[in-house]
Amino acid sequence: MKQSGKLTLANGTTFTGSWQGTVPVKGEVVFFTGMTGYQEVLTDPSYQGQILVFTYPLIGQYGIQAEASESNQIQVAGVIVQTLAEDGQGTSLASWLGEANVPVLSGVDTRSLVHLLRTEGDQFGDMMQENMTVPESVDAAYIASVSTTSNVEYVPEVEDGHVVCIDYGVKQSMIDALIERHMRVTVVPYDTTPERIQALAPDGLLFSNGPGDPTQLDPFLSGIRELATSYPTLGICMGHQVLAHAFGCTLLKQHHGHRGANHPVRHLASGQVFMTSQNHGYAVDVKSIEASEMELAYEHINDGSVEGLIHPALPIMTVQFHPEASPGPTEAMVVFDQFVNTVLHQEVAYVG
C-alpha cells in the first residue's frame, strides 16, 4: 500500500501525492522542463539542496546508467513527479533514489504546481509525510559542500595544454569536454588561493557551475579578478556570474529560474542562435553591464536576460548556459572549441 505525502510551499499551498522516503526535507522548489536527462539533472551539483519538479509527466522510463551521472551522488533534496516509472534497463529510478534516501512525491498535479511557481516565483517548501517534522532551516553554504577538498587531475592521452578548474560544483561532462580537446584538467577547491593556482602553471582557467547564491563567493572576488586577468578564462553558469561580479556587474535573483534543455540564446556579434541547456536562479543585471568592464555577448531570446559576456581586451569569456549540455542540445559546444583555441594561442578568440 502506497503511503501519502505532501509538499507545502512557503505561500501555504499544499500539493499531495504518493510518498517514497524516510526523511522530510526543506528546500527551494524549482522546476525542470526537459523531457529526458533526469539522471544527469539529479546528479548535477548545481541542484544541491533543491526540491526538483519535473514538468514532463513520465520520469524514469529508461532506468539508470552508471556512466550518465554528473557527480558521484544525487544532489537534489527531493523529487516531485506526476508519474514515476518503475521500469527501464538496469537500476530503476525509484530504487536508485530510495537507496540514496532521497524522498519522492509522485502522483502530483505538477502542471498546477509549475503554473504556481511561474506565477509566484521559485520559493522554499517542505516535503514530508503528515507525522514528520521538517528542519526549521537549511545550510545555504552549498558550494563548500559540493566542491572538491583536494586537487584532482585528469590527463588526456594527448596533452596540448593545461586548464585549472576552480570547482564550485563542476559537472563531469565539462571536464570530459576539455579532455576531448586534449586539455589536462586540474580541479581545485573553490577557495584555492591565486598563489596556489599560479604554482600549478595553468595555460587557462575554467570557473565552473555551482549551486545557490553567487554572493557566497564575494569574499573571493579580488582573487577571482586577479586570476582572470592573468590567464585565458572561461566562466560557466556560476562561474559566469562571479566573473561578471568581479568585473563590476551586479547580480539579481530571477523570479523563476531557467532550468531546462530548450532555451534559445543569441550570439550578438554573429546573430547565431543556439538551443541550450540551462540551470540557474540568478542572473547578471543587464543594466549594470554598461558601467562594468565587460561587454554583452549573448542574450536569451525569450526574456532578454544576459547569457554571456566578453572582456573587450583580455581573453575572458563567460556563458550563463551550459555548452556541455548533459542533458540537452550540444550545438553550443563551440564555446569549448573557442576557449581551447584561446588557451593554445594565449589570445582573444571569441565565438562568431
Catalytic pick from 40, 237, 267, 299? 237
Catalytic pick from 240, 280, 300, 322? 322
Alpha-carbon distance values, 17 to 52, 122, 128, 227, 305 (Å)? 15, 20, 10, 49, 35
Whether 322 sits among the annotated catalytic residues: the reply is yes
Whether 182 sits among the annotated catalytic residues: the reply is no
Alpha-carbon distance values, 324 to 52, 87, 152, 161, 183 (Å)? 21, 28, 20, 19, 15
With vertex at residue 7, the alpha carbon angle to CA 131 and CA 116, rounded to the nearest 5 degrees, is 160
248 CA to centre of own chain: 23
Contact of 329 with 277, CB cutoff 8 Å: yes
Whether 267 sits among the annotated catalytic residues: the reply is no
The DSSP-derived string for 254-290 is: EEEEEEEEEEEEEETTT--EEEEEEEEEEEE-GGGST
SS3 66: helix
The residue type found at 328 is G
Task: Pick the closest to residue 171 from 15, 59, 27, 328 (CA basis).
Answer: 328
Which burial class, exposed, middle or buried, applies to 290 when counting CB atoms under 10 A from its CB (0-12, 13-18, 19+)? Answer: exposed
SS3 103: coil
Catalytic pick from 40, 293, 307, 324? 324
Q: What are phi and psi of 95, to 5 degrees?
A: -70, -35
For the CA atoms of 241, 244, 246, 251, the dihedral, rounded to the nearest 10 degrees, stands at -60
List residues with catalytic annotation: 237, 322, 324
